[in-house]
Structures are given as C-alpha cells and as structure tokens.
C-alpha cells in the first residue's frame, strides 16, 4: 500500500474513533444527572455520588459528614459558603472541613461536573492519605463537630477549580482552573465555562502517569518522578513534605475552601 493510502486510511480510522467517542460522550451527556448509561456500566464505571445522599462519603478526620458545611441539593453536592454557615452555642461558626470518599483508589479514571460561584475557589484532591493529612492520628474518628488538634483539610494532588478572573489566586498560573495545584500550569487553550455554568472535568491517574482534562481538552499531563515534576515539587509549597509526590492508594476529596461550589455526575472506574 502506498504511503498516501496509508495516511488516508489512518486519518479515516482516527475520524471514526473520534466520532465514536463524541457519540458516546453525547449519550452520557444526555443521560439523567448522576446516572450511568448501559455502556458506562459495561465499561466498569461506578457512581461516587448517587444524587440524593452522602452514601460513601464522610468528612476528613470525622466519622460522618459535617452537614453545616455540606448538603445534597437538587441532585448536587453543595459546599455551603462559610458566611452562610450556622453558628453554634458559643457564637462561632460550626467547623467544617474537606469531604472525602470512604473508599480509596489506586489506578483510576475519574469524571465529574462542577459549577463555581463568583470569586469562588475549590479543588478536587486525589492521592490523599487521611493519616498523612493529619486527620486521623488514631483509629478513633471524631464526631462531625470539629476537633482540636485534628486537621480536616486534605493534603494531596489537587485539580484546581476556581473563578480564574475574579479570585486573587487566579493571578498565579499554577493556581488556575485545571492546574495540578501549585505545581503544573494548565494549557493556555483550555475552555472554562462562565461562572455559574457547568464544567466537565476528568482525571486519569494510572501508574506514574497523570492527566487533567477540562471540558474535553487535556490541560495537564505529567509523569511522577520525571525531572519536570521533581522540579515543580521542589518549588511548590509542599516541598517540606517528602512523602507528598509519592504514589499511593488514596481518597478522592472535595475541598472546603469556604466558597459555595456544586458537584454532580461523579463517576470513577479503576484501571489495571
């Protein structure tokens, strides 16, 4: 076969794969929120959020969900803005913290939708150890009312989600939406939906390979242990934590950064 015919055949094959992927994506997008299509179930996907409860979730360092800060609303997980959190008997706002999966994951693909409010900031963290984050110094978890000396903020790789234009952190390239927070800058050709509209994100984390996707565009790609990632770690705020860039089976975490943000259609599948 001539080189020209080979090139044409390859282009047609790529076009067919692209069209199949688009059709599958459209099918998933048209499905009811927080459900899986038959094709997704067959491919090994499972929901992390059922659309109506916190089954499978709890607060980091807590034995349950800190519901003064997190609620299920209209088929979404909502982080209640700190300014709207009720006050306790002592006149202080009831403590909150990050929300994490009960389960841990090693090699996986993860997808979810998220919607930000003006000047909001949040993140989805992965490769998280509750113990290393300081949330579980013993085998006894605390009630979801706050605990002195216990951290409720996860430390791990973070897919940044933020109002790039209005939040001050958006001025820093490694703190913009889609970034591997404080380490790797997202691609300049990303498409971020306007504040108040839904974004679709995806993480691939298999072996030492990682990818961040935003609205169908790959915005970050990395290899743990590479000179690029090692240098990024050395210059990050995490450089005093030698365990930070190490690969582990970890929790998936939704960040409590104090701002109102919404999550839905959270699904995951493990990879070999």
Joined tokens for residue 83: 């300014």
Q: Are 183 and 232 in contact (CB under 8 A)?
A: yes
The DSSP code sequence of 53-70 is --TTEEETTBSS--TTTE
Residues, the chain: 272
Q: Are 241 and 254 in contact (CB under 8 A)?
A: no
Phi, psi of 202 (to 5 degrees): -145, 140
Q: Are 153 and 60 in contact (CB under 8 A)?
A: yes
Report d(CA 137, CA 191) in Å as an integer. 41
Q: What confidence score (pLDDT) does residue 165 get?
A: 95
Joined tokens for residue 107: 């090699």
Residues 6 or more apart in contact with residue 75 via CB below 8 angstroms: 33, 34, 51, 52, 264
Q: What confidence score (pLDDT) does residue 151 get?
A: 76
pLDDT digits (tens, 9 = 90+) for 75-101: 999 999 999 999 999 999 999 999 999
CA 196 to chain CA centroid, Å, is 18
pLDDT digits (tens, 9 = 90+) for 24-57: 444 455 679 999 999 999 999 999 999 999 999 9
Report d(CA 122, CA 252) in Å as an integer. 14
Report d(CA 168, CA 174) in Å as an integer. 12
Low-confidence stretches of the chain (pLDDT < 70) are 1-30, 135-150
């Amino acid at each position: 076969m001539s080189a020209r015919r080979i090139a044409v055949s390859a282009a047609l094959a790529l076009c067919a794969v692209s069209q199949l992927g688009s059709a599958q994506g459209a099918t998933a997008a048209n499905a009811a929120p927080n459900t899986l299509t038959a094709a997704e179930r067959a491919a090994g996907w499972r929901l992390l959020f059922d659309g109506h409860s916190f089954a499978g979730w709890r607060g980091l360092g807590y034995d349950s969900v800190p519901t003064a800060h997190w609620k299920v609303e209209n088929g979404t997980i909502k982080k209640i803005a700190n300014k709207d959190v009720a006050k306790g008997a002592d006149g202080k706002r009831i403590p909150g913290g990050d929300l994490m999966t009960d389960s841990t994951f090693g090699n996986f693909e993860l997808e979810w939708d998220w919607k930000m409010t003006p000047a909001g900031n949040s993140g989805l963290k992965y490769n998280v150890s509750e113990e290393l984050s300081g949330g579980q110094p013993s085998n006894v978890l605390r009630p979801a009312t706050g605990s002195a000396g216990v951290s409720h903020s996860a430390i791990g790789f973070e897919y940044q989600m933020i109002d790039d234009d209005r939040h001050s952190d958006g001025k820093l390239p490694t703190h913009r939406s889609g970034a591997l927070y404080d380490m790797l800058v997202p691609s300049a050709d990303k498409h971020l939906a306007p504040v108040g509209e839904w974004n679709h994100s995806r993480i691939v984390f298999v072996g030492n390979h990682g990818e961040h996707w935003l609205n169908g565009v790959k915005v970050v790609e990395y290899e743990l242990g590479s000179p690029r990632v090692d240098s990024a770690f050395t210059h990050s705020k995490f450089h005093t934590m030698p365990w930070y860039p190490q690969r582990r089976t970890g929790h998936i975490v939704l960040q409590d950064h104090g701002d109102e943000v919404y999550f839905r259609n959270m699904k995951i599948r493990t990879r070999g």
